[in-house]
Amino acid sequence: MLIVLGSVKGSPGVTTLSVALACRWPAPGMPLVVELDPAGGDLGSRWHLHDEPGLRNMVATARYGPLTQPAEWSQRLPIGVDVVVAPAGQTAAYTVAAFGAAGPAAVRRLAATRPVLADVGRLDPGSPAAAFLDKADLLLMLTRPQLEDVRHLMVVLPALAERCPSVQLVVSGAGPYDAVEIAGYLETEVAGTISHDPTGADVLAGRRRPVMGWTRRRLLTAARTLAVALASAATEPASAVQVRA
Ligand SMILES: Nc1ncnc2c1ncn2[C@@H]1O[C@H](COP(=O)(O)OP(=O)(O)O)[C@@H](O)[C@H]1O
Ligand SMILES: [Mg+2]
C-alpha cells in the first residue's frame, strides 16, 4: 500500500505523523517512511543521521532495477521506524524531481511488499513529488482546522484528486472548526484527527527520550487508531481505499 502524506500550508505535522503511523502500524506490517519533500528532509537532522544511505541512493538504485535491498537506501530510527532520509535544503528538490520518472513505479512495487508512507511535505499540483500521486492508493492531506488552511485545500483538492483515487484529510491541532464541518465543507472524508501533543512530537523528532508508556501519549494513540484503520482498509474489499493492483 502506497500512502502519500502532504499538506497545503504551514507545517501541520506531516513528517511527525508519517513517523507516528509507522511506529504504531499494526503487526506484521513494517512500514517504510520515505521523505520525498522537495523543501528538504528533516528526519536526518532530527535524528542526527547521515544523508546516506538515503533518498539519493534510492533514486540511483531505482534507475537500474527494483528496490530490493533496504540497507542500501534506508536507516532505522532508534524508535524502530525505517526511514529513507532526504537531504536537507533545496537540493532535495532536484533529488525528488530526478526520482519523478522511475520513482513512482519503483516505489509502487516496493509498496506491494510493505506499506510505504511517502512524506511529500507541502503539496500542490506543481510539486515534483506530485508524480507519486499517480501510483498512490491514498493521499492523506494534513490540515489545521483553520479557515486559511481549509480554503487553500479547497483550491488544490480537485487537481490532486484527479491523480489519486482516494484523497482523505487528517485534522491536526486546535482551531475553530471540527472535523465534521471540514469534511462537509470540502466534501472530503476525514480519516482521523491528531491532537496537539508536544511531548509525543518531541519523542518522534528525537528531541526527547521515550519513557515507559510513551506510546500511550495522545499523538501516538491517535496515530494508532489511524494506522489500524488504514491497514484494515488495505485488506477490506468494500473500503473507501481501493488498493491499486
Ligand atoms: N501533534 C503535534 N503536537 C505538537 N507538536 C507537533 C505535532 N506534530 C508536529 N509537531 C511539531 O511541529 C513541528 C513541525 O512538525 P513536522 O512534522 O515537521 O511538520 P511538517 O512536516 O508538516 O512540516 C515540529 O517541531 C514537530 O515536533
Ligand atoms: Mg515535513
**Which pLDDT value is given to residue 245?**
62
Q: Which one-letter DSSP state was computed for residue 238? A: T
**Neighbour-count burial of 23, counting CB atoms closer than 10 A to its CB (0-12 exposed, 13-18 middle, 19+ buried):** buried
pLDDT bin (cut points 50, 70, 90) of residue 234 is: confident
Distance between CA atoms of residues 91 and 93, nearest Å: 5
Counting from 1 in the atom list of ligand 1, the atom nearest the Cα of 207 is 27
pLDDT at 239 over 80: no
CA atoms within 13 A on the CB side of 37: 27
**Which pLDDT value is given to residue 122?**
97
pLDDT at 84 over 80: yes
pLDDT tens digits, residue range 92-141?
999 999 999 999 999 999 999 999 999 999 999 999 999 999 999 999 99
194 lines ligand 1 (CB under 6 A): yes
In this structure, the residue with its CA closest to atom 12 of ligand 1 is 13
**Which pLDDT value is given to residue 242?**
61
Helices and strands of the chain, counted as H and E runs:
9, 8
What is the grid cell recorded at 160?
490532486
Cα 202 to ligand 1 centroid, rounded to whole Å: 9
pLDDT tens digits, residue range 177-231?
999 999 999 999 999 999 999 999 999 999 999 999 999 999 999 999 999 999 9
SS3 41: coil
**Which pLDDT value is given to residue 236?**
72
179 lines ligand 1 (CB under 6 A): no
* Cis peptide, bond prior to residue 26, ω within 30 of zero: no
pLDDT tens digits, residue range 8-30?
999 999 999 999 999 999 999 99
**Which pLDDT value is given to residue 183?**
97
What is the grid cell recorded at 57?
541512493
Fold of 2-233: Rossmann fold (3.40.50)
pLDDT at 78 over 90: yes
CA atoms within 13 A on the CB side of 90: 0
Distance between CA atoms of residues 82 and 41, nearest Å: 15
Q: Is residue 6 within a helix (H) or strand (E), and if so which, with residue range?
A: strand 2-7
Supply the DSSP string of 99-164, one letter for each residue. TTTTHHHHHHHHHTTS-EEEEEEE--TTSGGGGGGGG-SEEEEEE-SSHHHHHHHHHHHHHHHHH-
Select from 7, 9, 11 the residue to mutate for testing ligand 1; criterion: most ligand atoms less than 8 Å from CB. Answer: 11
Domains of the chain by residue range: 2-233
What is the grid cell recorded at 190?
476525514
Q: Of the candidates 55, 24, 67, which has an alpha carbon nearest to the alpha carbon of residue 118?
A: 55
pLDDT at 168 over 90: yes
Counting from 1 in the atom list of ligand 1, the atom nearest the Cα of 204 is 27
